[in-house]
Amino acid sequence: MRAASPDKERYESAVRLLPARLRSIAQSLDGGLKGRAEEFRLRAGRPFSIAFPQGEVAPMPSDEVTPEDISELLRIVSKGSIHTVAESLKWGFVTAEGGHRVGVCGSAIVKNGEIAGLRNMSSASLRIAKELKGIGNGIYKMLVSGKKIPNILIVSPPGGGKTTLLRDFIRLISDGGMRVAVADERNELAALNEGIPGFDIGMHTDVIEGCGKPDAVMMLLRAMNPQVIAMDEITTPEDMEAMERAANCGVSLLATAHAYGMEDLKRRVYYRAAEKLFDKAVLIEQSEGKRRYTVRDFAYESPRGDVNAC
């Protein structure tokens, strides 16, 4: 019997997180399609659906998701321990074993002007974590020579593949002999399970997970003597400050940002400092289900350096 492909294994590990009733629907999907599935979508009162690059499909249109299905999903994902995920649940997501991200929607509980949690869950999305070893090879060879790593920002819209590419970069740089430290706030890059990474992140990589990026960067700088610091999704001015602090310590930076391109990035106030911080931008664009990577010098005006696509 042939071993399952890594994509199918990831699909199966995500399926195990679903409530029993929906698990059987997801498992009935044709084998060839499993490797291409990107998300499971649970919306109360509507059919359970599976998202592919081309769109969503409902394998059993007559079978509706119930609020109890969504509650059970959270129980499984949190291993019956909501208190362990309460902090991230306030922000509407939980990272499950295997690095799969579960986003949830519902009624916000607001106390003293701050979100204290969610109740009456109305929908959830389970994004299937992907590991694509080798997708960063071309860009790595283009950008990295010897021990010199430029500061790189990977830019794409949501769902564009930034995390997957960043993870492969981390692995390549680490296996190339450099000490990489990862501030893995949402446990999506390494998917630590009792301390052991669920993804291949390289031989010389240290990870702090579950900690805000500014604090994680300080801890890593003080304790782990990194040569490269990596973090996913710079979203706040504090994240940018943390990157600046690391750069001032002579550490190379690897990071990602949500944006539809350099113009979109430039419009956001806290990304304006990025031009001084980063040397290279890797832009990910999707067209007809395929991804295209463009490498350029990091400049908000016309690029000064070569523009390479792969």
Partner 1 sequence: MGIKASMRLREHVGVLNDLLSALETIESEICCRLSPIPVALKSAMQVAEDGGGKCGAFLKRCVDELNRRGPQDFRHIWRDSVEAELGFMPEAEKTVINELAATLGNYGADEQAASIGYIRRRLETFLRSAEQEKDRSCRIYTTLGVTMGIAVVIVLI
Contacts with partner 1, residue ranges (CB under 8 A)? 19-20, 72, 75-76, 78-84, 86, 117
SS3 assignment for 35-75: CCCCEEEEEECCECEEEECCEEECCCCCCEECHHHHHHHHH
Instruction: Give least dist CB 87 to partner 1, A.
Output: 9
Q: Which is nearer to partner 1, 32 or 195 (CB)?
A: 195
Q: Which is nearer to partner 1, 24 or 84 (CB)?
A: 84
First to last CA, the chain: 35
Nearest to 162 by CA among 123, 116, 130: 130
Instruction: Give least dist CB 97 to partner 1, A.
Output: 11
Confirm if 125 and 93 have CB atoms less than 8 A apart.
Answer: no
Instruction: Give least dist CB 271 to partner 1, A.
Output: 33
Q: Which is nearer to partner 1, 116 or 203 (CB)?
A: 116
Other CB atoms within 10 A of residue 221 CB = 18
Confirm if 258 and 209 have CB atoms less than 8 A apart.
Answer: no
Instruction: Give least dist CB 78 to partner 1, A.
Output: 7
Instruction: Give least dist CB 86 to partner 1, A.
Output: 5
Name the strands in the sheet holding 205-209, side by side, starting at the edge strand that comes first in the sequence.
205-209, 180-184, 228-231, 252-258, 152-156, 280-287, 290-297, 308-309
Q: Which is nearer to partner 1, 81 or 225 (CB)?
A: 81
Instruction: Give least dist CB 115 to partner 1, A.
Output: 13
Q: Which is nearer to partner 1, 20 or 269 (CB)?
A: 20
Residue 176, CA distances (Å) to 146, 148, 196, 199 in order: 9, 11, 21, 17
Instruction: Give least dist CB 76 to partner 1, A.
Output: 6
Q: Which is nearer to partner 1, 82 or 273 (CB)?
A: 82
Other CB atoms within 10 A of residue 61 CB = 11
Q: Which is nearer to partner 1, 63 or 87 (CB)?
A: 87
- As a residue count, the chain comes to 310
Q: Which is nearer to partner 1, 78 or 227 (CB)?
A: 78
Q: Which is nearer to partner 1, 78 or 151 (CB)?
A: 78
Nearest to 37 by CA among 100, 94, 97: 100
Instruction: Give least dist CB 30 to partner 1, A.
Output: 27
Instruction: Give least dist CB 92 to partner 1, A.
Output: 16
Radius of gyration of the chain (CA): 20
The H or E element containing residue 4 is none
> How far apart are alpha carbons 93 and 136 in whole angstroms?
27
Confirm if 31 and 1 have CB atoms less than 8 A apart.
Answer: no
